Amino acid sequence: MEDIVLRELNEKGEIPNSLEFAEQHKFDVKAFDGVLKSLLVTDYVALQNLDVSEIELTEDGKKAVDQGAPEYRLVSLLKVGEEKSKDELVKEFKDDKELTLATNKAMQCKWIKSSKTSITRTAEEVKDETAKALHSLLESKDPNKHDKALIQDLKKRKMIQIKQIKYYKVSKGNSYKTKRVVEVADLTAEMLSKGTWKDTAFKKLNTNAMGKEIATGNFHPLWQMRDEFRSILLELGFEEMKTDSFVESAFWDFDVLFTAQQHPAREMQDTFYLSEPATCKTLPADLCEQVKKAHEGGSFGSIGYRYKWKEEEARKNIMRTHTTPCSARVLLLLAEETKKTGKFKPKKYFSIDRVFRNEATDATHLFEFHQVEGLIADFNLTLRELMGIIGEFFKRLGITNLKYKPTYNPYTEPSMEVYGYHPTLKKMVEVGNSGIFRPEMLLALGLPEDVSVIAWGLSLERPAMIHYKLDNIRNLLGHQVPLKFLKNNPIFCLP
C-alpha cells in the first residue's frame, strides 16, 4: 500500500479522496488508514481532513425499493372499490404500526377511504412515488444534489439516514520520497567498523520523548530525612554513636539510666521482653556495683530510691525503648578514657536509629520508630547551653520560636519538653525531650564530678510527617507504605 501511495503522489501530485482510492485498489480501509498515519508521522505525506455526508437507505428504505412503499403495497392489495378488514390486511405487514403508517400515507394521496375497522380503495391509478424517489437517491448519494423537502420527508419516515464520511486529501509531505527509506534507530559497532553508517538513514532523535522509566531502588523518604539530620549534626561538630544493638539488657536501657526497677515504663505492656535468650550473659561488674549503689541510695550525694536492686531484673533482654542506652555506653567509654589519660576531653555525640515500644498502633503510633539523639559532655554546662544547642538544631530544621515545658525523666534533672510552631497545623506541637543527665547516672558511669552532660532526643517520624504532610504514620513506615510514595517522592531537602 505504501509503495502504491508514494507512486501515485509521484505521478499525480495528490490523492483527492483517500476513501475512493482505497476502494479502487481494494484496500482494507482500516489498514490503509494506518499506512497513511505512519507516512504522516515520518512526514512523507501531508493529510487534509475532509468529510462528506452520504445518503444511506435504512432497512425500511431498502424494503420500499425492493417491494414498494408501504402505502403502495396497501392499495395493491385491493381492487378499485373493494373493502377489506384491517384485521385481514395487517397480515401483509410487519405490524399494526406499519399498517397505520401505510394507511395514513395512502389517505394523504387520496388512494383509499378508511373506517375504524376496514379500508376501501377509491383511486384507480396509483404510482409509487416514494419508491421512485428512493431510486433516484441511489444515483447520487450526495444529499445536496436532491430536493431538501424530499430528503427531510424520507428522513422523517425513517427510510434514509445521512451518514458523515471522513476521508483525507493526501499530498506530498516535506520528507516525501518515491520509496520509503528504512531508518534505523541505533548506530552499531559494525556500522562504524565497516563504514556502512555513511549510507544508512537514521531516525531523528526525539528529544521530547519521555525516557524509559528506569527500575532502580529508591531511598526511603525517612532515610532521606535521616541523612539530612545527620548532615546537620555533623556540621554542628557531633560524632555519630554506635547504635547496632536493637536488643539491649534492661540494665543499659533502664538501670544505668537511673530508672528504678519498679518504674512503669519497664512493664510488659510498654516494653518488649525477649523470650529467647531471655537474659544477657554478663554485665560489667564494676558498673553493676555503681548502679546498684545509685539505686539503693547513700552514694553520689543522693538518697537513691531506697529499695533492694536486683541483678536478675537488670539482666533481662529487651528491645531497646530509646537510644539513650547508646549514649550511656559512649559515656562509659569516655569515663574510662578519662581515667586512663587523666584528662577529660569534651565530646559531642549523636545517633539516629530504631527503637521499639509495646504500643497499640494507630495513626500516630507504631511499635517501632526512629529516634534522633544528641548529647554534649563538657565542664560547666547548664540549661543555657542546652537551650542554645537545641535552638540551633531546630533552627536548621526550619523550626523556630521554641518553647520549653518542665517534665520528668528518671535520668535527667531538670528535664524539658521542647515545643515548636507547626506552620500547617498552626499551633505549637511537641518536637522533642531534653535534660541534663543526673549525677546518679554520670558518677556511676565514672565521669569526673565537674563534668555535666546535656542531651536531647526526638523522633524522626514526627518531622517527616510534617514535611510530607502525612496524617497517618503507617503511610511513612511499615508494610502499608504505598510503593508509589517511595518512587515518586522528590529528594528531601530541608529549608
Indicate whether 452 belongs to the interface with ligand PHE (CB under 6 A).
no
Indicate whether 347 belongs to the interface with ligand PHE (CB under 6 A).
no
**Minimum gap (Å) between residue 185 Cβ and ligand PHE:** 59
Q: What share of the chain is helix, strand, coil (3-state, %, to 5)?
A: 40, 25, 35
Q: State which residue, 130 or 434, has the beta carbon closest to ligand PHE.
A: 434
Tally DSSP H helices, then E strands, for the chain: 19, 15
Indicate whether 249 belongs to the interface with ligand PHE (CB under 6 A).
no
Stretch that binds ligand PHE, among 26-34, 417-425, 433-441, 468-476 (CB under 6 A): 433-441
From residue 457 to residue 476, the character string flagging contacts with ligand PHE as x (rule: CB under 6 A) and all else as - is x-------------------
Q: State which residue, 27 or 254, has the beta carbon closest to ligand PHE.
A: 254
What is the Cα Rg of the chain in Å?
46
Pick from 71, 373, 440, 461: which binds ligand PHE (CB under 6 A)? 373
CA distances from 457 to 45, 132, 250, 415 (A): 70, 97, 19, 11
**Minimum gap (Å) between residue 435 Cβ and ligand PHE:** 4
Q: Which amino acid is it at 441?
A: M
Indicate whether 455 belongs to the interface with ligand PHE (CB under 6 A).
yes
Residue 49, SS3? strand
Size of the site for ligand PHE (CB under 6 A): 11
Q: State which residue, 5 or 442, has the beta carbon closest to ligand PHE.
A: 442
Compute CA 178 distance to the chain's CA centroid, rounded to the nearest angstrom.
Answer: 48
Indicate whether 434 belongs to the interface with ligand PHE (CB under 6 A).
yes
Indicate whether 271 belongs to the interface with ligand PHE (CB under 6 A).
no
Compute CA 459 distance to the chain's CA centroid, rounded to the nearest angstrom.
Answer: 26
Indicate whether 412 belongs to the interface with ligand PHE (CB under 6 A).
yes
Q: How far apart are CA 67 and CA 93, in angstroms?
A: 12
- DSSP secondary structure letters along 178-191: SSPPPPBS---HHH
Closest to 410 measured CA to CA, from 376, 385, 435: 435
Pick from 393, 456, 460, 464: which binds ligand PHE (CB under 6 A)? 456
Q: State which residue, 228 or 373, has the beta carbon closest to ligand PHE.
A: 373
Q: Which residue is at the shortest CB distance from ligand PHE?
A: 457
Q: Tell me the CB-side half-sphere exposure of residue 426, using CA atoms within 13 A.
A: 0
Pick from 435, 442, 443, 445: which binds ligand PHE (CB under 6 A)? 435
**Residue pair 256/328 in contact by the 8 Å Cβ criterion:** yes
DSSP state of 52: E
Stretch that binds ligand PHE, among 28-36, 178-186, 221-229, 455-463 (CB under 6 A): 455-463
Which residue ranges make up the site for ligand PHE (CB under 6 A)?
A: 322, 324, 373, 409, 412, 433-435, 455-457
